[in-house]
Amino acid sequence: MDTRETSGPGTVAPDLGPATALRCRECGARCALGPRFACPECFGPLEVDYTFTKVTRASIEAGPSNIWRYRQLLPVPDGVTATRNTEPGWTRLVRADNLARELGMRELWIKDDSGNPTHSFKDRVVAVALAAARELGFTVLACPSTGNLANAVAAAAARAGIRSVVLIPADLEQPKIVCTAVYGGLLLAVRGTYDDINRLATEIADDEDWAFVNVNVRPYYAEGSKTLGYEIAEQLGWQLPEQVVVPVASGSQLTKVDKAFGELGDLGLVDPRPYRVFGAQATGCAPVATAFKDGRDAIRPVRPATIAKSLAIGNPADGPYVLDVCRRTGGGVEDVSDDEIRDAITLLGRTEGIFAETAGGVTLASLRKLLDEGRLDPAARTVIINSGDGLKTLDAVSSVVGPTAEIPATLEGFRSALPS
């Protein structure tokens, strides 16, 4: 069944590559590709359905050094490589032997997404949202955000030569405003809580023909996180890891990494061996970890209070699906304190020379806790995701790092400061 139809604000049927329809994750109903995020039958969340053509390792390897090497697996037209975009992805997978030694592990890898154009994994999802939004006829890219997403949307729109509209809280810190304002576009400081801003964004999305990346084009946007999973497997020499630890905000990234691993197995691109998926949250915003530990299926919303602001979603949309994935694969969901997050950031810095955002600290601290509890196998090949850059969350660690000593500008002063 080809369910494509004329949809979106444009009048031309969208070319979204291998994507064939949207499918409800709850009731399974299918509907046409378009700017929709809720099932017309049951209001459940919609996900992209595909009919993949023959994809080979060689065809992927011959592609560009960015996420578009996987364009045959994404809801984007084949010609996406010729469009102006930020070309994110193909970030480093770093073998972390120093860190593994400290943790007593055999083989640990860090997928370091701080190397993306605006230094977080959001460049991946925004690039896919932009490509789909163009096909759906949109000419404005929008989002509500307090950080990484705002940076990524404003930069991607600037590069594409289209307009961006970004809604931020009016009381956001000045450095975070500068990072987004520098890309131009409409930047609106909204007086209200982040919940107020999200509500306003949904109202505007109903009112204007704009692509709100995480609202009306969310099903396409979310698919961008699959590329993290594809890259991990390809960079491991077309093998799945045995264990992966993924930070959980909305929970979308974790479910899409799992989806990617599954697709690679189904397509014969990797040997479909079992793997275990672990989620990582901050204790100050741990609705999914709490549900996992309590053995519940329902997520009880919380009011976030943590230094890991990029993970501070109190009512995560994909929480139930995270529980499904972690339970099905024999993984788990852990949460860690702000002090454990800070410790993990400095541990990663001094062992591997990687400066992670707080979200990366959450992931490493959760890995450590899972090891201590004996729930993660130290001998199994393990990958953790660092989804952002420490330069964006300097305040989080400024209280715990600093100069070793202060000295006068003399050789004597210097010698007295050397550890004996």
Residues 340-379 that bind its own copies (CB under 8 A): 345-346, 349-355
Contact 185, 163 (CB under 8 A): yes
| Contacting its own copies within 16-45 (CB under 8 A) | none
For its own copies, the closer CB: 46 or 162: 162
> Whose structure tokens read 């199994």?
380
Any contact of residue 177 with its own copies (CB under 8 A)? Answer: yes
Tokens describing residue 53: 């053509």
Q: Closer to its own copies by CB, 20 or 164: give it.
A: 164
C-beta of 347: minimal distance to its own copies in Å? 9
Number of residues lying near its own copies (CB under 8 A): 77
Q: 256 with 222: CB under 8 angstroms?
A: yes
The span of 24-32, 42-50, 264-272, 395-403 binding its own copies (CB under 8 A) equals 395-403
| Segment interacting with its own copies (CB under 8 A) among 185-193, 242-250, 278-286, 287-295 | 185-193
Binding its own copies by CB under 8 A: which of 12, 27, 182, 298?
182
**For the chain, how many residues are written?**
420
In the Cβ-directed half-sphere of 107, how many Cα atoms lie within 13 Å? 10
Restricted to residues 89-128, the positions that interact with its own copies (CB under 8 A) are 90, 92, 97-98, 115, 117-119
Which secondary-structure segment (H or E) carries 396?
Answer: helix 394-397
Q: Looking at 40, 184, 301, 330, which residue binds its own copies (CB under 8 A)?
A: 184
Nearer to its own copies (CB atom), residue 334 or residue 352: 352
Binding status of residue 420 toward its own copies by CB under 8 A: no
**Cβ atoms 141, 155 nearer than 8 A:** no
User: What mask of x and - would describe binding to its own copies in positions 255 to 294, judged by CB under 8 A?
Assistant: ----------------------------------------
Q: Does 63 bind its own copies (CB under 8 A)?
A: no
| 87 touches its own copies (CB under 8 A) | yes
Nearer to its own copies, 20 or 214 (CB): 214
Tell me how many degrees the CA angle 232-152-175 measures, rounded to the nearest 5. Answer: 120
Note whether 242 and 275 are within 8 A (CB).
yes
In the complex, what is the shortest distance from the CB of residue 55 to its own copies, in angstroms, rounded to a whole number?
A: 22
Q: How far apart are CA 258 and CA 131, in angstroms?
A: 23
Of 38-46, 168-176, 224-232, 371-379, the segment contacting its own copies by CB under 8 A is 168-176
Among 29, 200, 302, 380, binds its own copies (CB under 8 A): 200
407 binds its own copies (CB under 8 A): yes
d(CA 141, CA 143) in angstroms, rounded, equals: 7
* Pair of tokens at residue 38: 């809720």
- Among candidates 150, 119, 110, which has minimal Cα distance to 357? 119
* Residue 321 structure tokens: 């699906």
Q: Which of 159, 236, 265, 377 binds its own copies (CB under 8 A)?
A: 159
Instruction: Tell me which of 15, 26, 49, 196 binds its own copies, using CB under 8 A.
Output: 196
Quick check: helix, strand or coil at residue 12?
coil
- Cα–Cα distance for residue pair 189/200, rounded to 1 Å: 12
**Angle between helices 148-160 and 122-135 in degrees, nearest 10:** 40
The correct pick among 183, 220, 230, 292 for binding its own copies (CB under 8 A) is 183
Cα-flanking dihedrals φ and ψ of residue 382, to 5°? -125, 140
Asked if 12 touches its own copies (CB under 8 A), the answer is no
Considering the complex, what minimum distance in angstroms separates the CB of residue 269 from its own copies?
A: 20
Nearer to its own copies, 233 or 325 (CB): 233
In contact, 345 and 361? CB cutoff 8 Å: yes
168 belongs to the binding site for its own copies (CB under 8 A) = yes
Identified binder of its own copies from the candidate list 58, 62, 207, 303, rule CB under 8 A: 207
User: 280 with 286: CB under 8 angstroms?
Assistant: no
In angstroms, the CA 293 to CA 366 distance is 14
| One residue of 154, 244, 260, 288 binding its own copies per CB under 8 A | 154
Rounded Cα–Cα distance for residues 192 and 170 (Å): 7
